[in-house]
Amino acid sequence: MDYMAQALSLARLALGQVSPNPAVGALIVNNDEIVGQGYTQPPGSDHAEIVALKQAGERARGGVMYVTLEPCCHHGRTPPCTQAIIAAGIREVYLATLDANHLVSGRGKEELEKAGIKVYLGEHEAEARRINEAYIKFITEGTPFVTVKFAMSLDGKIATRSGDSRWITSEAARKQAHHLRYTNDAIMAGINTVLVDDPHLTVRCSSKGGTAKKQPLRVIVDSNGRTPLTARVFTEPGKTVLALGGPLRPGEKAAFTRVGAELLELPSLDGQVDLGELLKALGERGITSVLVEGGGVLLGSLFDGGFVDKVIAFIAPIIIGGKEARTAVAGRGVDKVVDSLRLDGVSTEGLGEDLMVCGYVAAKKG
């Protein structure tokens, strides 16, 4: 059995639910039997290693632990996991990858080794780092990992010339989109998307379309405070932040406050919200990952500013046509094809009749 692969599956269960902590999975094996397993609990609760150790009890002694991220060795909201592992009598630990947090970053491994525990590093490391790609960026740079997601026709349209966009992609693709929302800390959309589509921007689960208990933070980029007070984003479960490009009049502030909006007044660049300052502000409140869902102006500004880390595009086998039909990415763009942003680590997956393309924005050469 591939125990580390099973630990990685456990780690995925924590995605989007434990920020700003990393999503970690842990497994304890003794005499070829899994005696304990677990994944990170919400902040302030047990880390994956502690969940697994509690489940194993005395059967952890002399056992082997498989954990997807280096155990912490410092006092945070919870005691160090390294000390618990040592006290439980674990004899070997397999680590998928080291923790990028400067408070750990090799120190946890060293502490285990000093206690006489054999430590093996690197099994399934690439996948372990992929699971915690948002945490790694956040802990090293202080800003959230930005994923841009859009659904488009084969000819690159996200809506018809009349603005209709329901539904371009299949139910399978839309279900995957809700999973992406579930695993991110925040969903971001521009004011035009709110005005045209009046989206819910919530996570819906199950075939009955129920609303998930935990909702990501909704962030509306609205430079001039044009979001209607009747917008659905103010009536759905969870919190909504309006990112503004400057202060509002007192009466406007009071109206937004009455419908439950949190106002974030930021500097503006060329009349638009300074997106760099917005991402910095989100990082300061512990948001490690942002899923951006449109529209084209916002996506274009994020690409132009170099703020996008990952792209997920759903492509439907339909042709919409029309020069006035909306496209996924606006902004300045580039003058020459050779200067286009390129994606690394590209993967594709079929979802019903649609195709999902994922990739990471490559660093520009030179």
Catalytic residues: 49
State the Cα–Cα distance between residues 261 and 350, nearest whole angstrom: 38
Strand-by-strand arrangement of the 240-244 sheet: 261-265, 240-244, 217-221, 186-190, 289-292, 145-153, 310-316, 354-361, 343-351
Characterize the bridge pairing of strands 33-39 and 25-30. antiparallel
Picking from 29, 41, 104, the residue whose alpha carbon sits closest to that of residue 67 is 29
Position 82, amino acid? T
Q: Evaluate whether 316 touches 137 at the Cβ level (below 8 Å).
A: no
Directed axis angle between helix 81-88 and helix 48-56, to 10°? Answer: 20
Q: Evaluate whether 203 touches 182 at the Cβ level (below 8 Å).
A: yes
Quick one: which H or E segment has residue 147? strand 145-153
Q: For 220-272, give the DSSP string.
A: EE-TT----TT-GGGTSSS-EEEEESSPPPHHHHHHHHHTTEEEEE--EETTE
Identify the DSSP state of 39.
E
State the Cα–Cα distance between residues 45 and 47, nearest whole angstrom: 7
First to last CA, the chain: 45
Q: Using the structure block, give the residue that is written with the tokens 């075939």.
A: 207
